[in-house]
Amino acid sequence: MPVDLTPDPAVAELAKRTAAFVREVVVPVEERHAGVVRDDAVRAELQRAAREAGVFAPHVGVEHGGHGLDMRGRAAVFEEAGYSLLGPLALNIAAPDEGNMHLLEAVATQEQKERYLAPLVAGEVRSCFAMTEPAPGAGSDPAALTTRAEKVPGGWRIDGRKWFITGADGAAFAICMARTSGAPGDRGGATMFLVDADNPGMTLVRHIDTLDESLYGGHLEVAFEGCVVPDDAVLGAVDEGYRYAQVRLGPARMTHCMRWLGIARRSQDIAVARARERELFGSRLADLGMVQAMIADNEIDIAASRGLVLQACWELDRGGSAAQATAIAKTFTAEAVWRVVDRAVQICGSLGISGDVLLGRFLREVRPFRIYDGPSETHRWAIAKRVAGRVDR
């Protein structure tokens, strides 16, 4: 079936405004902070500027003050925002808040939307999503979930340990996945809970020292010990957590791809600018065949990633699960973005390794994307299983 890839004029105009905002306002702040901001005042200032430019929170519904972009619309705008490591933070479309907003919009009750979604959309608070556990718990295989929630009068008591919880430091609340029935290994029986950060049963154990540093609020180990939450803290229905995780994860995979595609393009722009000005062996780098090959391969990787993401977004917009399309797009893009940034470093030579351009920072930031939102191997395994299991082949 043919897919029309042209964004509608309003989306194209928003993408253009986002591109200008990111280049003029965000990139100078990013360069000043070498891509890593840990200061709420800087975050608030960037978000104020995005609001003023009319590009803030474009993904949420118009009723929540956003532009109500569908997934294909997000593809155009998020890539422009992703041109800077701080663009998504400025627009309030950074992980994990953006995925959590999507989930809350789809699943939360009216009261939960007012209490959790509204301040999140406004940028007044941040959030985190607590699914992954240290071994032998949930990771590539979410069914290994060990954190338990037991029914108590008027609510639930959650016990378990999570790690790599992005943004947990400073988050106002966590969406925590816990097992409410069955045993680790079972494919059902999980429930999502909204846990306020001031709950005495939820403790931030430590910041994990990681290769990447730009995602706001760090990656933390979080303990849930005798963490009692009321019945209305259940997000959606009891035992339906895995189903809701798919509501969040499919689109969240694609929005990660969109944002990192922005960084791939930025890296290519830096490398091409260098290749045009640097002279070697009597010619410009840009005229040497092996550099041309790297520049061309970068273009191919970027174009192919964008095409796969748009295909998956189109399927999501039509209401499908797009499980195969998002797995293919995520796997390819995560690996392609790494290749693009790595080639950009190579083209720039020692400059690429230095802190004078941000390519080294970008390389560190994109590497974990081959692991989170499903490692490449998990996706390849799932893709192959779906293909091999098809009866109509």
Ligand X SMILES: Cc1cc2nc3c(=O)[nH]c(=O)nc-3n(C[C@H](O)[C@H](O)[C@H](O)COP(=O)(O)OP(=O)(O)OC[C@H]3O[C@@H](n4cnc5c(N)ncnc54)[C@H](O)[C@@H]3O)c2cc1C
Dihedral of alpha carbons 131, 133, 135, 136, sign: negative
Smallest gap from residue 271 Cβ to ligand X (A)? 25
Per CB under 6 A, the list member of 58, 73, 87, 96 interacting with ligand X is: 96
Q: What φ, ψ does residue 203 adopt, rounded to 5°?
A: -125, 135
Smallest gap from residue 381 Cβ to ligand X (A)? 3
Residue with tokens 């790595």: 342
86: tokens are 């701080």
Q: Does 139 bind ligand X (CB under 6 A)?
A: yes
Build a one-symbol-per-residue string for 149-188: x at contacts with ligand X by CB under 6 A, - elsewhere: ---------------xxx----------------------
Smallest gap from residue 13 Cβ to ligand X (A)? 33
**HSE value, Cβ hemisphere, 13 Å, CA-based, for 380:** 9
Side chain identity at 202, as an amino acid letter?
Answer: M
Report, in angstroms and rounded to the nearest whole number, the Rg of the chain calculated over CA atoms: 21
Per CB under 6 A, the list member of 212, 221, 301, 365 interacting with ligand X is: 212
Number of residues lying near ligand X (CB under 6 A): 21
Alpha carbons 210 and 301: distance in angstroms, whole number: 26
Smallest gap from residue 350 Cβ to ligand X (A)? 28
Per CB under 6 A, the list member of 50, 131, 234, 308 interacting with ligand X is: 131
**Closest CB to ligand X among 39 and 377?**
377
**Closest CB to ligand X among 213 and 299?**
213
Per CB under 6 A, the list member of 119, 184, 188, 375 interacting with ligand X is: 375
**Closest CB to ligand X among 193 and 372?**
372
| Polymer length in residues for the chain | 393
Of 123, 128, 240, give the one whose Cα is nearest residue 178: 240
- Helix segments in 137-287, DSSP class H: 241-277
End-to-end CA distance of the chain: 18
| Interface residue list for ligand X (CB under 6 A) | 96, 128-132, 139-140, 164-166, 210, 212, 219, 368, 371-372, 375, 377-378, 381
